[in-house]
Amino acid sequence: MIKVTLPDGSVREYPKGTTSMQVALSISEGLARNVLSAKVNGEVIDANRPINSDSTLSLLTWNDLEGKSTLWHSSAHLMAEAIESVFPGAKFAIGPPVENGFYYDIDFGDKTFSTDHLEQIEKKMIELARTNSEYVRKDVSKADAIKYFTDKADPYKLELIDGLADGTITFYTQGNFTDLCRGPHIPNTGFIKAVKLLRVAGAYWRGDEKNKQLTRVYGITFPKEKELKEYLVLLEEAKNVTTEN
């Protein structure tokens, strides 16, 4: 058995290998439905990763900054899956969460991606989200990681892998999309209920103007449609204030 210390100081015992989500379920099903990730001994991890030793645990929801960040990171992967389905052969660079949402830097090759495509990708993301696909983490050897992205002809991932030590590389897969990623991620795509892709910009690979300019697609997602509507109202109000000034 392991001892899990919760934020209120209470200590509960669970079998070794229990996940944060299982801890949440033992407290309340309502809580578990809202858990996006977990902080175990100060590290934010997937809620479905096993806990193997005595630990402190915070269950992270949309009310926590780390919970929002996890949802947005997972949304970047979902957007990449949607884009790849519409633009097969697109090459993906990096797709991190940011203060309000996420982005992904993408090489579309000889194809052009513009704001005209945003609504199409939004709809595809919602379609994919409703499949409730799990985000599955897998430890991968450096050789296997290189082979995977060589076969996929993705030079950006290969360059990133080059700087990683063997034994530290992980892939995440949801649906038909696999990415090089440390995580963490939400349990499944079903937590993403509302999507808005905001804008398209240019970004040099690794911020170096000597490198190729990629297409950066920005977006934001929410666990409830109501929250997206409220956010769009705030955006419009901010725009009006800027115009008036």
For 51-71, write each residue's pLDDT tens digit. Answer: 999 999 999 999 999 999 999
Are residue 120 and residue 228 in the same domain, yes or no? yes
**Is residue 166 scored above 70 in pLDDT?**
yes
Give the model's pLDDT for residue 244.
57
Q: Residue 59 corresponds to which tokens in the numbers above? A: 């269950």
Which residues span the domain enclosing 47? 2-61
Last residue of a domain, one of 45, 61, 77: 61
Do 57 and 167 sit in the same domain of this protein? no
- CB 168, CB 29: distance < 8 Å: no
Number of domains within the chain? 2
On whether both 26 and 141 belong to a single domain, the answer is no
Q: Give the tens place of pLDDT for each residue, 85-133.
A: 999 999 999 999 999 999 999 999 999 999 999 999 999 999 999 999 9
Evaluate if residue 175 carries a pLDDT over 60. Answer: yes
Q: Say yes or no: 52 and 74 in one domain.
A: no
pLDDT on residue 236: 86
CATH number at residue 54: 3.10.20.30
**Whole-Å CA distances, 17 to 5, 54, 165, 168, 182:** 15, 11, 26, 21, 20
Contacts of 204 by beta carbon, 8 Å cutoff, 6+ apart: 210, 211, 212, 213, 214
| Separation CA 157–CA 150 (nearest Å) | 9
The values of phi and psi at residue 46, to 5°, are: -60, 140
From 38, 61, 84, the end of a domain falls on 61
Residue 104 phi, psi dihedral angles, 5° rounding = -140, 135
Is residue 97 located within the same domain as residue 211? yes
CB 158 within 8 A of CB 46: no
